[in-house]
Amino acid sequence: MEFTAQEIADLIEGTIEGRPDVAVHDVSKIENGRPGTLSFLANPKYTPYLYSTEASIVIINDDVHLNGDKKINSTLIRTPDAYSAFAKLLETYNKKREPQAGIADTAIVSSKAHIGKGVYIGDYVVIEEGASIGDNAQLYPYTFIGRDTSIGRSSKLYIGVKIYHDCNIGQNCTIHAGTVIGSDGFGFAPQQMQDYKKIPQIGNVIIEDNVEIGTNCTIDRATMGSTVIRKGVKLDNLIQVAHNVYIGENTVIAAQTGISGSSTIGRNCMLGGQVGVAGHLEIADEVKIGAQSGISGHIREKGATVLGSPAYDISAFKRAFTYFRNLPKIVKRIESLEKKLKDRQENK
């Protein structure tokens, strides 16, 4: 699949400096660009590569000033925001690679399911009765959709996604391979014989529009009511969201984070990798939580930034860590002072 500089410039509304007919068929990083590839320059520290790259086309910001004494072999396309323009091109490229609409012969689709227009259903997909698949949705091979579950318009479910019964997935959502949504929450009542009785999980999962979920995540159904992921949320790979959790709009969560049951996370929050959130907690809007932090209490201050396990204010954590790092020296000083004090007492 090829694009000329002129086609790219028209798409991103850019200005060409060089040959408008030069074509590219792949992408590359600017530092190791190859002929026939498209690259971009957004970070000023990579500017020197502009004069050495072999990429055929490079997208740059309008405000990049060139060194007239150095030769540039690439055709340049200027745009107000090179990074966003490049992302737009990749999105266009991906859309051209998407599978065509249709239902594979090996798919099993209930006659009582509703399938919208322009839907792609891959090999060995199973769709149970009462399920609803919105227009232009894409279900890749080995996906499972349980009874009475709805998938919104233009959502994509990649290979092996499993969505249990009675769940609702919004429009323009992306769920990556191996993710399971709607499995039972971890609910067991201790018994007198020191064993456990399973508590039926009769709720569901609601995922609103424009949510992206990475590979091998698990989002448990509620015991009662709903586990809710609000619109615009982005989840990385390998994340566990337990029963009755609520995640607010546009919150982003990095890989290997675990959120325990019935906790509420506000909107526009950022959680780093391997964060652990205990159950029944409230986290305010716009909170930032550093990687590997342990959240064992409520965070009710809007916009707070915390770090550590247990987590607390990041400024206080950094000061405490400075002392911790110097702890061996401090211990030696204390031991030395104790020895001097002991010697002085013995010599009296």
Backbone phi, psi, residue 245, to 5°: -75, 150
Classify 202 in phi/psi space as left (phi over 0), alpha (psi -120 to 50) or beta.
alpha
Tokens for 261, please give them.
């049951």
Tokens for 258, please give them.
């675990």
Dihedral angle computed from the Cα positions of residues 140, 146, 147 and 150, in that order, rounded to the nearest 10 degrees: -60
Residues in contact with 7: Cβ distance below 8 Å, sequence separation at least 6, in sequence order: none
Three-state DSSP class for 269? coil
First CA to last CA distance, the chain: 92
- CA pair distance 157, 140, nearest whole angstrom: 6
- CA pair distance 218, 344, nearest whole angstrom: 65
Q: Which amino acid is residue 270, in one-letter code? A: M
Are 207 and 227 a contacting pair, CB within 8 Å?
A: no
Share in percent of the chain as helix, strand, coil (round to 5): 20, 30, 50
- CA pair distance 33, 55, nearest whole angstrom: 4
Specify the length of the chain in residues. 348
- CA pair distance 174, 22, nearest whole angstrom: 34
Active site residues: 243
